[in-house]
Amino acid sequence: MSDFPITGPIWFVGCGNMGGAILRRWLEAGLDPAQVTVIRKSGEPFADGVTVLAVPPADGAIPAMVVLGVKPQMIDQIAPSLAPTLGSETTLVSILAGVELAALRQRFAAPGLIVRAMPNTPVAIGQGATGLVADQADAAARAPVSASFALLGLTEWVDEPLMDAVSALSGSGPAFLFRFVDALAHAGADMGLPADQAARLALATVAGAGALAASSAETPHQLAERVASPGGSTRRGLDVLDEPEGLKPLVRNTLTAALLRNREMAAAAR
């Protein structure tokens, strides 16, 4: 018997990059593969012991949890076949960007609890960040979801109007950080370092700095100040980042663009 927080059948409807990362990590954390059914059109195998079907099963046990991971624009294609298979004992967890709780409830009336989750790709190694919001405040009903996603890293329950901000900050954030690592490496190469060496140094620098920030009682701002001696080279570089048109407005504009796109997708799904 698995000691995973969800004890009944778990379905993954769609199992692409994010859904696959979640499921792999849950399996590593002790989820019994026999509990899991992956529903995807290709029918491609996922992992030993995991059942894979092309369509939702018409009969059999009602799922305890369904993780909905199709593309947002496909929700109306999957809902007619999926909705009749769910019951009041089902918790529906949607990782569809921008699709609001009301839009989910409109299409899936039966589940006792509907949760929107916005994870990010580091969930694959148990160091992710996931924003969660549910259509009811019952702590007991939400507890198994909290425990399941805690296996993936940090979890934060938020109010639904803030989910677009969560999506822009932590959902999209890894992609923005990867771009920054890439920019560090290219800048190092432009200054004469071999490209492969610059890439290794950039990646190790960001990995080490991130680990230090996560383990330190000081804020990232304070840690930066510790590196920057008055009149030194680091201070001169920080002066560039801290210019009025420097890093902060660039990051704010980047997150705002992602946030607005989430709102566009939410409007399309209503």
Helical H runs in 126-171? 139-150, 163-166
Q: Which of 115, 190, 188, 213 is nearest to 155 (CA)?
A: 115
In the three-class reduction of DSSP (H, G, I as helix; E, B as strand; rest coil), residue 6 is classed as: coil
Of the candidate ranges 55-64, 76-85, 113-122, 165-174, the one whose mean pLDDT is the lowest: 55-64
* Arithmetic mean of pLDDT, 156-163: 95
| Rounded-to-5 percentages of helix, strand, coil across the chain | 55, 15, 35
The yes/no answer on whether domain 173-265 falls in CATH 1.10.3730.10 is yes
Task: Name the amino acid, one letter, at 36.
Answer: V
Q: Going by C-beta distance under 8 Å and a sequence separation of 6 or more, which residues neighbour residue 40? A: 13, 14, 15, 52, 54
- Assign 138 a pLDDT band (cuts: 50, 70, 90): confident
CB of 227 within 8 A of CB of 212? no
Burial of 10 from C-beta contacts in 10 A (0-12 / 13-18 / 19+): buried
pTM comes to 0.90
- Assign 265 a pLDDT band (cuts: 50, 70, 90): confident
- Assign 46 a pLDDT band (cuts: 50, 70, 90): very high
pLDDT of res. 62: 94
pLDDT of res. 2: 65
- Which residue ranges make up each domain of the chain? 10-161, 173-265
The CATH fold of domain 10-161: Rossmann fold (3.40.50)
pLDDT of res. 66: 98
* Arithmetic mean of pLDDT, 28-44: 93
Q: How far apart are CA 252 and CA 241, in angstroms?
A: 13
